[in-house]
């Protein structure tokens, strides 16, 4: 079911705790932002789990809510705002999702404005990943748009005391042909006070009848991108903003031995920030920040014996944990006993079968987004933190900030301007947390942009892996055994697609020397001591 309302004065809900998330936007804020009109909220089935396998970090919030709200707002001037927690990272969903809504609402494409990835305005969303935006969010927004259209038609029919089925909808206008009357969506919603429950089963426009969806249209905001007008996260500028830099270790797992910041502290406007192992600085401009960073003399103790490319796969196998996360099928053994068994299972070939064993490897792979990690952080006088950052998971980054600074979730807002790609490499809020730490200490907004070197060194990687496979086959071609051990590179897609009795498939997490995108490595939040 979905709930439709116009304006919000006097609105009460029988059980606010069970209301869709859209009702968490208070009336005053809603009216300031959108000036009244029609708001559509759709309670849907639980969202998909995150690619990382977690609902988020910290904050104690409900990670996968029982319903996911999605919003459509029809303003009095016929402009339509569509809200989604999905984000634009170059895949052009700002355009394609807007097309779907325009199609179902029967309005021009240009009437749609997508509001994306703003944790104060959009419904909770677990993230933009796994090519799920179109198959997951597309149908949801189509359903909402169809429900909104049907509700507007019913409103017009009630006003004219006629049969809703006799009304015609086109270009955001509802017409009664027999009575020669027409109303735009904006004229219908203006000044109305309606709380109505509508079915989520409003008829969708068949694909064969699409006029906007599925057709080539110019990219939304395309001119801003090609002319350089668009503001990426690394372009955001605020009044009084300072520029941040972080002192990075000289190697992985290094500890600080000593540091000399004398030269940096003598530079005009430079302020050092020290919080445990976190060392950073802010300066009035980017050039001064770079010079100050270069002047700092830090001595690090780097752990010896770190693996090289030549030894990495032996290292991953030697430093692997007990098998978990895959699937094991052993005759006569209960699943619980299999999970607790320490020795690795072995798939025994049948007598007379032909056997083959082979190992495969995959290297660590940097995601190499076109735009390195970047964030601008600002604390206001009430203690609220707002961060503009490039991320595939705005709500996940919000959770990291909540945990890092021990804040109430209402005190954190994450905004994702359309960013320069992610490729699955921007799930965490590294730059956001760092920028917020610097801004809190500096008492001013701070922009932090990682260098390309930092991106390739300190961002998490796609994990390296060693895959060892054994199989045996009878002379008639029947596959009789299958054994697959994956070290470090995850448990997705491991089971064999072939029909074989008692296959053995195991994932062995390893002590990776590099940060990787495996779910248990994604949490990078460190609490701020100050």
Q: Give mean pLDDT in consecutive 10-residue pieces for the chain, a chain of 530 residues.
A: 33 33 46 60 45 36 35 87 94 97 96 96 92 92 89 91 94 89 91 47 90 96 94 96 97 92 97 91 98 96 89 96 56 34 54 89 96 98 98 97 97 96 95 98 98 96 96 91 94 88 92 78 45
Model pLDDT, residue 184: 96
Tokens of 37: 């009109």
Q: List the beta bridge partners of residue 484.
A: 469, 505
User: CA-CA distance, 120 to 513, in Å (whole number)?
Assistant: 37
Query: What local confidence, expressed as pLDDT, does residue 332 receive?
Result: 31
Gap between the Cα atoms of 477 and 462, Å rounded: 36
Please give the structure tokens belonging to residue 83: 């809200």
- Strands (DSSP E) found in 297-432: 297-301, 327-328, 354-362, 374-379, 385-389, 412-415
3-state percent helix, strand, coil for the chain, nearest multiple of 5? 25, 25, 50
Distances (CA, A) of 439 to 192, 244, 275, 400, 403: 44, 9, 13, 16, 17
Angle, vertex CA 431, rays to CA 429 and CA 435, nearest 5: 115
What dihedral do alpha carbons 98, 129, 64, 486 form, nearest 10°?
160
Tell me the C-alpha distance between 209 and 180, whole Å: 26
Contact 99, 205 (CB under 8 A): no
352: left (phi over 0), alpha (psi -120 to 50) or beta: left
Dmax over Cα atoms in the chain, in whole Å? 86
Query: 485 pairs with which residues across the strands?
Result: 468, 506
Residue-level pLDDT at 440: 97
The pLDDT, as a whole number, for residue 63 is 41
Q: Which two tokens stand for residue 5?
A: 């309302």
Which two three-digit tokens encode residue 302?
């780097």
Question: DSSP character for 495?
Answer: S
> Alpha helix locations (H) across 245-393?
262-265, 286-295, 312-318, 335-340
- Strand order across the 38-42 sheet: 112-116, 80-84, 71-74, 38-42, 2-6, 194-198
- Provide the token pair at 38: 């029609």
Question: Nearest Cα to 485, choosing from 511, 504, 457?
Answer: 504
Contact between residue 392 and residue 56 where contact means Cβ atoms under 8 Å apart: no
Cα–Cα distance for residue pair 46/35, rounded to 1 Å? 30
| 385 φψ region: left (φ > 0), alpha (ψ -120 to 50), beta (else) | beta
Contact between 90 and 215 (Cβ < 8 Å)? no
Order of strands across the sheet that contains 278-283: 271-275, 278-283, 242-246, 446-449, 374-379, 385-389, 412-415
| Per-residue confidence (pLDDT) for residue 193, from 0 to 100 | 37
Three-class HEC string of 224-269: HHHHCCCCCHHHCCCCCCEEEEECCCCCCCCEEEEEECHHHHCCCC
CA distance 179 to 168: 12
């Amino acid at each position: 079911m979905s709930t439709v309302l116009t304006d919000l004065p006097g609105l009460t809900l029988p059980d606010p705790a069970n209301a869709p998330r859209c009702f968490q936007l208070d009336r005053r804020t809603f009216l300031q932002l959108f000036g009244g009109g029609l708001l559509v909220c759709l309670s849907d089935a639980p969202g998909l789990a995150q690619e990382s396998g977690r609902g988020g970090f910290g904050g104690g919030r409900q990670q996968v809510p029982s319903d996911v709200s999605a919003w459509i707002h029809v303003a009095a001037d016929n402009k339509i705002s569509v809200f989604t927690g999905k984000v634009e990272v170059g895949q052009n969903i700002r355009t394609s999702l807007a097309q779907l809504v325009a199609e179902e609402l029967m309005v021009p494409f240009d009437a749609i404005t997508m509001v994306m990835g703003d944790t104060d305005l959009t419904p909770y969303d677990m993230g933009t990943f796994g090519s799920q935006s179109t198959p997951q969010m597309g149908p949801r927004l189509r359903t909402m748009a169809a429900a909104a259209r049907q509700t507007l038609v019913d409103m017009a029919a009630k006003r004219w005391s006629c049969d809703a089925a006799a009304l015609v909808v086109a270009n955001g206008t509802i017409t009664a042909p027999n009575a020669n009357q027409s109303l735009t969506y904006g004229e219908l919603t203006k000044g109305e006070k309606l709380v109505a429950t509508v079915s989520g089963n409003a008829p969708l426009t068949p694909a064969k009848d699409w006029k906007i969806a599925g057709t080539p249209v110019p990219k939304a905001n395309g001119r801003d991108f090609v002319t350089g007008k668009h503001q990426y996260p690394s372009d955001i500028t605020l009044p009084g903003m300072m520029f941040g830099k972080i002192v990075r270790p000289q190697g992985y797992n290094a500890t600080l031995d000593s540091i000399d910041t004398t030269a940096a502290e003598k530079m005009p406007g430079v302020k050092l920030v020290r919080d445990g192992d976190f060392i950073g600085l802010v300066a009035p401009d980017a050039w001064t920040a770079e010079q100050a960073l270069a002047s700092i003399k830090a001595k690090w103790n780097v752990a010896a014996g770190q693996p090289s490319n030549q030894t990495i796969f032996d290292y991953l196998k030697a430093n692997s944990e007990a098998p978990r996360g895959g699937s094991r099928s052993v005759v006569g053994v209960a699943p619980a006993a299999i999970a607790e068994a320490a020795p690795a299972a072995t798939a025994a070939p049948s007598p007379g079968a032909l056997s083959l064993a082979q190992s495969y490897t995959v290297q660590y792979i940097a995601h190499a987004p076109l735009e390195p990690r970047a964030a601008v952080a600002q604390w206001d006088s009430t203690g609220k933190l707002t961060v503009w950052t490039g991320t595939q998971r705005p709500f996940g980054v919000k959770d990291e900030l909540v945990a890092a600074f021990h804040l109430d979730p209402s005190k954190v807002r994450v905004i994702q301007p359309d960013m320069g790609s992610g490729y699955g490499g921007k799930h965490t809020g590294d730059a956001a947390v760092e920028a917020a730490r610097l801004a809190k200490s500096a008492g001013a907004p701070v922009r932090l942009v990682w260098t390309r070197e930092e991106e390739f060194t300190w961002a998490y990687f796609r994990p390296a892996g060693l895959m060892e496979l054994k199989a045996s086959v009878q002379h008639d071609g029947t596959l009789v055994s299958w054994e697959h051990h994956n070290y470090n590179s995850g448990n997705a897609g491991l089971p064999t697609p072939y029909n074989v009795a008692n296959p053995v498939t195991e994932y062995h997490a390893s002590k990776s020397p590099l940060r990787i995108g495996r779910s248990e490595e994604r949490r990078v939040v460190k609490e701020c001591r100050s």
